[in-house]
Amino acid sequence: MEIYVENLREAALTLSAGDRVYLSGTVYTARDAAHLRIFELLDGEASLPFELPGAVIYYAGPTAALPGRVIGSCGPTTAARMNKFAPRLFDLGLGAVIGKGEMSPEVIQAIVRNKAAYFCAIGGAGALIAKHITTCEEIAFTELGCEAIRRLTLEKLPLFVGYDAKGKSIFA
């Protein structure tokens, strides 16, 4: 099933854990350091570098672009590292996250509560994933290097639904 980020909220209600999807649209990269900065902005009631409602965060720290490419390798990082951040972001409107591996029961509850989704990307496939990224723009926290927030445009990135909006899991 092809899903466009712009229609993610509607699509999330129809997805089931284990479904294979092809995601297209704008997503944002953010790992641990960027999440800490996002929370500093939220706690200070400052504007975020992107609109959170309906957004998709890809837990990745891409490498530098190779000649003729828009990005280097862009594989997923372990999603459990974001367990302490994800529930609050889902409660503020985050539509989905992309990562690898299991997440905590609190994250699953936030996904269900907010009718969101968690997509799994294949670890070790960063070079293949990069072929589905058509644009890459660093938009915040440039001093964090590979952990800076980037706005990516995806074209039919193959993913699996790890946790669906009903709380079902591929890990159970």
H or E segment and range at residue 91: helix 86-91
Beta bridge partners of 150: 138
Secondary structure (3-state) at 96: strand
CB 52 within 8 A of CB 117: no
CB 66 within 8 A of CB 122: no
Residue among 9, 31, 35, 150 flagged as catalytic: 35
Whether 35 sits among the annotated catalytic residues: the reply is: yes
Residue 97 phi, psi dihedral angles, 5° rounding: -130, 155
Residues in the chain: 172
Q: How far is CA 82 from CA 14, 73, 95, 101, 126, in A?
A: 25, 21, 15, 11, 19
Residues involved in catalysis: 35
